[in-house]
């Protein structure tokens, strides 16, 4: 994947960032280029067919719509329902992370992106067990998933990026912000917010996003942590990020989607004596709807020699080809009813072909 070109520093020097296994936080006041700065990096990732993206945009509807078809998971909208879907997306990333630990080996990089994450942290909704989705309590579901990914995701190539605005201790908990390898801040209002964004050590060393000019320095980020090459004496670097407008971003995304589709076609399993549909049906364990990540984990547990190389994209391709694609509600799930119908249709087609009689769809 290499280093992603992100912008130029105050001397005019090009600055590129390494995204490999680095959790990232971008924050700052609203309408100063936060989404554009993060989206530029996601477009760089999208160009690599060997990397996966899961994205939640809790502002919606613009900004990330061009990733439809590229991101295996895409949540767009500001309501509590969207926060619940974003939380379940992060929890599924934790399941995927645990699956990777179980099977071992190397894995495709998975980048989990949440824009306007403050909406999730401030969400008042609770699940049927009365567990809050937002907040900072020990049982808060969104923060709990964030912490698990921060703590263990790097080891198995599961990386979390969050973008927030106008940081406070309520909408950007300390347990979240301290877990990032890259911390970047647009203009903020106070030194206290600068410390929340970048950490006290970076601010003590001279990082000062509070001195950026709102509006005039739009797109300028003070970046601390790893990822950017820095001189030994530097604790942070100010980068004016490359701006990619919506129309250009859409064109880049279209080219990335075509490249991914070609790569997927080349990697889709061909005819095999193994009955993958029957194996998937068995992995449902009699349940009517099961998350694709859970199905994949069960397949690997049932037959690791066959299914360890599979990804969520492989599973989706096999089901789609059979006429039983996963259905998207709050999360992507495999339907037992759809899968049974696909198996019946396939078997009927094969029986008719062997008998030499007419084949009816």
pLDDT tens digits, the chain, 361 residues: what are they? Answer: 679 999 999 999 999 999 999 999 999 999 999 999 999 999 999 999 999 999 999 987 779 999 999 998 999 999 999 999 999 999 999 999 998 998 888 899 999 999 999 999 999 999 999 999 999 999 999 999 999 999 999 999 999 999 999 899 999 999 999 999 999 999 999 999 999 999 999 999 999 999 999 989 999 999 999 889 888 888 999 999 999 999 999 999 999 999 988 887 776 655 557 899 999 999 998 899 999 888 988 898 888 878 888 888 889 989 999 999 998 766 789 999 999 999 998 888 877 655 554 433 3
Q: Pull the structure tokens for residue 223.
A: 């970046």
Neighbouring C-alpha atoms within 13 Å toward the C-beta of 104: 2
- pLDDT score at 307: 87
pTM above 0.75, yes or no: yes
**CA-wise closest residue to 242 among 225, 269, 271, 218:** 218
Question: How far apart (Å, rounded) are the C-alpha atoms in residues 216 and 300?
Answer: 53
CATH class in words for 3-251: alpha beta
- pLDDT score at 360: 37
Question: How far apart (Å, rounded) are the C-alpha atoms in residues 212 and 185?
Answer: 10
Note the CATH architecture for domain 268-355: Orthogonal Bundle (1.10)
Beta strands 327-328 and 236-241 are unpaired
- pLDDT score at 351: 72
For all residues of the chain together, what is the average pLDDT? 90
What is the three-class DSSP state of 124?
coil
Could you tell me where in the chain the CATH 3.40.50.300 domains are found?
Answer: 3-251
Question: How far apart (Å, rounded) are the C-alpha atoms in residues 184 and 198?
Answer: 6
Q: Count how many residues are written for the chain.
A: 361
Q: Please list the residues that pair with 115 across neighbouring strands.
A: 57, 163
pLDDT tens digits, 219-278? 999 999 988 988 888 899 999 999 999 999 999 999 999 998 888 777 665 555 789 999
Beta strands 327-328 and 289-291 are unpaired
């Amino acid at each position: 994947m290499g280093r992603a070109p992100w912008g130029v520093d105050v001397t005019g020097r090009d600055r590129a960032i390494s995204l490999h296994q680095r959790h990232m936080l971008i924050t700052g006041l609203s309408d100063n280029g936060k989404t554009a700065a993060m989206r530029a990096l996601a477009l760089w990732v999208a160009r690599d067919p060997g990397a996966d993206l899961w994205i939640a945009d809790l502002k919606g509807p613009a900004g990330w719509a061009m990733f439809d078809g590229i991101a295996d998971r895409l949540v767009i909208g500001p309501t509590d329902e969207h926060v619940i879907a974003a939380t379940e997306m992060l929890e599924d990333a934790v399941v995927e992370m645990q699956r990777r630990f179980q099977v071992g080996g190397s894995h495709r990089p998975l980048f989990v992106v949440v824009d306007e994450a403050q909406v999730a942290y401030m969400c008042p909704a609770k699940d049927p067990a009365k567990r809050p989705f937002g907040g900072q309590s020990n049982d808060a579901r969104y923060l709990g998933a964030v912490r698990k990914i921060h703590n263990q995701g790097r080891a198995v190539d599961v990386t979390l990026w969050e973008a927030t605005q106008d940081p406070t201790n309520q909408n950007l908990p300390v347990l979240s912000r301290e877990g990032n390898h890259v911390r970047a801040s647009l203009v903020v209002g106070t030194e206290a917010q600068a410390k929340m964004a970048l950490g006290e050590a970076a601010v003590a060393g001279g990082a000062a996003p509070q001195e950026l000019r709102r509006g005039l320095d739009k797109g300028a980020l003070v970046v601390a942590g790893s990822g950017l090459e820095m001189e030994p004496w530097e604790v942070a670097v100010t980068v004016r990020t490359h701006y990619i407008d919506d129309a250009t971003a859409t064109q880049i995304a279209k080219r990335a989607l075509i490249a991914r589709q070609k790569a997927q076609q080349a990697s889709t399993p061909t005819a095999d004596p193994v009955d993958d549909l029957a194996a998937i049906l068995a992995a449902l364990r009699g349940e009517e709807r099961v998350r694709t990540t859970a199905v994949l984990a069960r397949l690997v547990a049932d037959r690791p020699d066959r299914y360890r190389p599979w990804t969520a994209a492989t599973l989706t391709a096999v089901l789609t080809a059979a006429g039983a694609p996963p259905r998207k509600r709050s999360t992507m799930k495999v339907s037992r009813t759809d899968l049974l119908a696909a198996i019946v249709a396939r078997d009927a087609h094969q029986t008719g072909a062997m008998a030499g009689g007419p084949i009816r769809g």
